[in-house]
Structure 1
Amino acid sequence: MTAAGTLTRADLAESLHREVGLSRADAARLVEQILSHMCEALAEGQNVKISGFGSFILRDKGERVGRNPKTGVEVPIAPRRVLTFRASQMMRDRIVSAS
């Protein structure tokens, strides 16, 4: 992981290189293929579930009225699709035990 505590694509590729023995180029290509496949599935409206990790879930939010916090003026918020992540119970347990 980087100094800021963020796991990057490069970190994932480096881990594949070290632990699986793939070349750095092959590891980077594999990471990109997996992420690309996930993005394509989400773009097509499919949810992505990774057992033991969690689910990326698409939700459609309807139109609603929001309020400008500075002025208090009501503003319509257009309907949109949002992506949420729900960690699996196994992941939640690992996070709690790590802290």
Structure 2
Amino acid sequence: MALTKTNIVDQVQERIGYSRKRSSDLVETLIEIIKDTIGTGEDVLVSGFGKFCVKEKGSRKGRNPATGDDMMLEQRKVVTFKCSSVLRDKINDKA
């Protein structure tokens, strides 16, 4: 089961004791700041968690899965995530 924005708001409300509205505003503001920063092409580094990076992907040859026809895929930007060693250790039960 995935952690949703609603779950995050609930946990902020529970852990910090903010009202539901204030918790929701806080989470929404944080997400907007991250989106705006990534949208300008800058990386977002959250210590102890990881780094969101904007990468350029060049145009390349691809295939339409429905028809099997060859096609050219345009260059584009993608967001990648690299977790910190702290998070990696937690995932692997080393913490």
TM-score clears 0.5: yes
Aligned length: 94
Moved more, 64-73 or 77-86: 64-73
For residue 87 of structure 2, what is the aligned residue in structure 1? 91
- Structure 1: runs of 5 or more not aligned: none
Q: Deviation string for 1:45-97 (max 9, x for gaps)?
A: 11111111111110001111123467654321110001111111111111111
In structure 2, list runs of 5 or more residues that go unmatched: none
Q: Which range moved further: 51-60 or 89-98?
A: 89-98
Write the letter of the residue equivalent to 2:15: E
Using the TM superposition, name which of 74-83 and 34-43 deviates more: 74-83
Q: Secondary structure at the match of 1:49?
A: strand
CA RMSD of aligned residues (A): 1.7
Structure 2 Cα separation of the partners of residues 32 and 78 of structure 1: 32
Report the TM-score, using the length of structure 1 for normalisation. 0.85
TM-score by length of 2: 0.88
Q: Residue type of the partner of 1:50?
A: V
Residue 75 (structure 2) aligns with? 79
